[in-house]
Amino acid sequence: MQVDPWKTLESSLVFSALPWVNVYRDRVELPDGRTLDDFYRVVLPDYAVVVPMTEAGELVMVRGYRHGLGRVSLGAPSGFVEPGESPVQAAQRELLEETGYVASEWQQLGSFVVDGNRHGGTAHLFLARSARQASTGANNPDPNEAFEVELVSPRHFFDSVSEGDVALLATVSAVSLAMLTLRGFRTKADLIEATTKP
């Protein structure tokens, strides 16, 4: 069976609060000819999520208040990709700003749309190995954010996920992909082989 894309007949901007969010109302035609007059898309800026790992095998995480959650959560360093930045440059900047750490080895883990129907922004995920405190020791955090840096083992991190202390999907996804990468699952074929063995 072939799945055909929808056709956008009209798109109108119904709300804009740059640089944070644009909301569009699309009029779309489905493959069977039906039309939907009010399909909404929420377009957010791209952002980077970093999984920093020290030489000792600890994850460099941040604990801070997230207003969308209404509570404090443990999470990975992250932030919007600024105009003129590449995703990896944004990841490097956010790591230094939020934690005071730098890393010498960077690997992209993938880029993923948060919500396949509404959009919700594209997350660019990175593994940063050999993370260490910057020699200057000076980080430059956003004045609207307050973070505590925590060094945690991968086991402790996943225990925190089970306990509800980690509430950010992008963090869980990024750390999970980083752990698979560190265990040698370089390709989808490697992962499929590992998960289908008896």
pLDDT single digits (tens) 49-99 = 999 999 999 999 999 998 888 999 999 999 999 999 999 999 999 999 999
State the residue range of the domain holding 106. Answer: 47-182
Strands (E), 116-191: 119-133, 147-152
Q: What angle (nearest 5°) sits at the alpha carbon of residue 126, between those of residues 125 and 130?
A: 160
Q: Model-level pTM?
A: 0.85
Structural domain count, the chain: 2
C-alpha span between 194 and 46 (Å, rounded): 32
Q: Are 78 and 50 in contact (CB under 8 A)?
A: yes
194: in domain:
no
In this structure, are 104 and 20 located in the same domain?
A: no
Greatest CA separation for the chain = 61
